[in-house]
Structure 1
Amino acid sequence: MKTESELKLAGVRALIAALGPVDAERFIAAMHREPFDYTRWRGDQWQDATVAGLAEQARALRARVATPD
């Protein structure tokens, strides 16, 4: 298991890899500005989704990852 410091570093690196350094910083700043309940957000995120729809999104993502541009 990672320490809290290692986890934070890995998270920042993942954000930078996904968003780039500028947008990663903007995302972090936005999270600090607004009250945000991650657990509630995750619970609400897929509320209207179907299993079939999520499965299709997963297949599409896997296909994109397997054959990057």
Structure 2
Amino acid sequence: MITDTEIRIKGIKALTESLGDVEADRFISLIQRKLFDYTKWRQGMDEESSIEEISKRAMAVSNKNTRQ
């Protein structure tokens, strides 16, 4: 069994060989982004909103987060 450090080194090497330095860095940035915080998003929501309105708001926030 290899160490965590060895796995990281081999992983970075595989990424850079496959994607190149810039795209490998982009890939790492993408997978390290924070996940959607439902609790924070939900706090600002109107309790009287319909399920359709809530869904539209959730999709808008999700789309915004994936574009960044």
TM-score, reference length from structure 1: 0.48
TM-score, reference length from structure 2: 0.48
Which of structures 1 and 2 has the bigger CA Rg? 2
